[in-house]
Amino acid sequence: MGTAPAVAAAISSEDTVTTDTSSLLDEPMSVLIANGLPGLSSSSQWVLRPMGSDAVEGSPFRTLTSVEDTDPVTLILADPWAFFSDYAPDLPDNELEALGITDPGDVTVLCPVTLDAEQGCFYLNLLGPVVFHSGTGQAAQLVLGDQEWPIRAQVDVGP
Residue 149 has a pLDDT of 94
Contact 76, 113 (CB under 8 A): yes
Sequence-ordered list of residues with C-beta below 8 angstroms from that of 131, at least 6 positions apart, any chain = 91, 95, 96, 99, 101, 107, 108, 109, 139, 140, 141, 142
Q: Domain range for residue 13? A: 4-156
**What is the model's pTM?**
0.81
Amino acid identity for residue 65 in this structure? T
Domain count, the chain: 1
Question: Among the residues of the chain, which ranges form H helices?
Answer: 4-11, 93-98
CATH number at residue 79: 2.30.290.10
Which one is predicted more confidently, 42 or 139? 139
Whether the pLDDT of residue 98 is over 60: the answer is yes
Confidence of residue 56 (pLDDT cuts 50, 70, 90): low
The mean per-residue pLDDT over the stretch 69-84 comes to 90
Query: 23 with 112: CB under 8 angstroms?
Result: no
Partner residues linked to 132 by β-bridges: 108, 139
Q: Is the pLDDT of residue 14 over 80?
A: no
Cα–chain-centroid distance for residue 45? 16
> Could you report the per-residue pLDDT of 107-154, keeping only the tens digit for each?
999 999 999 888 888 999 999 999 999 889 999 999 998 899 999 999
94 to 1, 80, 101, 113, 130: CA distances (angstroms): 9, 22, 10, 25, 15
